Amino acid sequence: MALQNVVRGIFRLLILAKTQRLTRVSRDQERTMPARFDLRFRCFDAFHLPHQLLYEDFAKNASISDSLEDSLNVLEFAQEALKDGVDILDKLLAQEGQGDPATWAVAIAQAGPDGLRGLKKVAVANQLAVRILRQALVQASQSPTPLDKLPVKATL
């Protein structure tokens, strides 16, 4: 659950960065996005979800307008998802070594090769990125400097 929240927050952050043209996505990357999406979320095929996760659905839901209000809303949702992930990770880390070892092993395996602490570092770093991007958006709306000229560039 923590991993799911962190990934949800990061995807929202990336959607906003792409919409605001803060990230550069080459044609080759754009063309391979459906295959990369399928590979990334293949593990969810084992679950019985209401419908299959498709890149086309993600792309349709990922498009947002350039308005400041929409951008701030996306950042708020990203921050909430990341905070929920950090809260779950904090609870898990507080119980480290306690309880059922099998449950603990599953939580560690789901967190990836860097474990729960590594996932928490990723979540906290992205929370910081959300705050910086929020400041940059508000600053850009109040100044004639375009957002892509402010020091918040990233590449995928």
User: How do residues 104-147 score in pLDDT, each as one tens digit?
Assistant: 666 666 665 567 788 888 899 999 989 988 888 888 788 765 55
101 phi, psi to nearest 5 deg: -60, -30
CB 23 within 8 A of CB 148: no
pLDDT at 54: 75
The whole-angstrom separation of Cα 123 and Cα 117 is 10
SS3 122: helix
Q: What is the pTM of this model?
A: 0.66
The answer, yes or no, to whether residue 100 has pLDDT greater than 90, is no
Supply 1's token pair: 């659950």
The answer to which of 12-21, 69-78, 98-107, 145-154 has the lowest mean pLDDT is 145-154
